[in-house]
Amino acid sequence: MGKVFKYGENVDTDVIIPARHLNTSDPAELAKHCMEDIDADFVSKVKAGDLIVAGRNFGCGSSREHAPIAIKAAGVSCVIAPTFARIFYRNSFNTGLPILECEEAAVRIAAGDEVEVNFKTGEIRNITKGEAYQAEAFPEFINRIIENDGLVNYVKNNL
């Protein structure tokens, strides 16, 4: 369970982690600058387990895996949006950042709401509003990657 940080549509990877910080790939270092260009207070306010809820096409732009890495390392437990940009979508599963596609949740959940997510069932519970929303279940193929705890182990087990 965590508190929600809410953002609009088309949150791009340049605001999630600006390129000026891409001269490192250290997760802790990247986390210090997470969301810096869209929300300068994010890093000082975010607590382990908090969630990001945003509008459609979250993570558009560059292929930098530094974006999901920075979000995960900042302590975010899940990102919820109606749709994700496709490279960000892949990168999230591959690096073990849980994401859920759910339009209703993205619309209904407000900044600061307490939210709980069941990744097995895809159920998103809004404790503050006393509501629940159902996200799309993961495709079976994605589940296999998740079961292997990310693509690194999936490949390790299939080399």
Partner 1 sequence: MGMTMTQKILAAHAGLKEVKAGQFIEADLDIVLANDITGPVAIKEFQKMGAERVFDKNKVVLVPDHFTPNKDIKAAEQCKMLREFAVDQKIENYFEVGEMGIEHALLPEKGIVVAGDAVIGADSHTCTYGALGAFATGIGSTDMAAGMARGKAWFKVPSAIRFELTGKPAKWVSGKDVILHIIGMIGVDGALYKSMEFMGPGLKNLSMDDRLAMANMAIEAGAKNGIFLVDDKTKEYLREHKNKNKAFKKKIKIYQPDKDAVYDETYVIDLSKIRPTVAFPHLPENTRTIDEVGDIRIDQVVIGSCTNGRMEDMKVAAKILKGKKVAKNLRLIIFPGTQHIYLECVKNGYAEIFVKAGAVFSTPTCGPCLGGHMGILAAGERAVATTNRNFVGRMGHVESEIYLASPAVAAATAVMGKIYNPEDL
Q: Scan residues 93-122 and list those touching partner 1 (CB under 8 A).
A: 94-95
Q: Minimum CB separation from partner 1 for residue 125, in Å?
A: 28
Asked whether the beta carbons of 150 and 156 are under 8 A apart, the reply is no
Rounded Cα distance between 127 and 115, Å, is 6
* Closest to 28 (Cα-Cα) out of 64, 72, 59: 72
- Identify which range of 42-50, 84-92, 98-106, 125-133 contacts partner 1 by CB under 8 A: 84-92
Give the residue, chosen from 3, 56, 108, 125, that forms a contact with partner 1 under the rule CB under 8 A. Answer: 56
* Residue 62 binds to partner 1 (criterion: CB under 8 A): yes
* Residue 87 binds to partner 1 (criterion: CB under 8 A): yes
Q: Where are the beta strands (DSSP E) in the chain?
A: 2-6, 51-53, 78-81, 99-101, 114-118, 123-126, 131-134
* Residue 50 binds to partner 1 (criterion: CB under 8 A): no
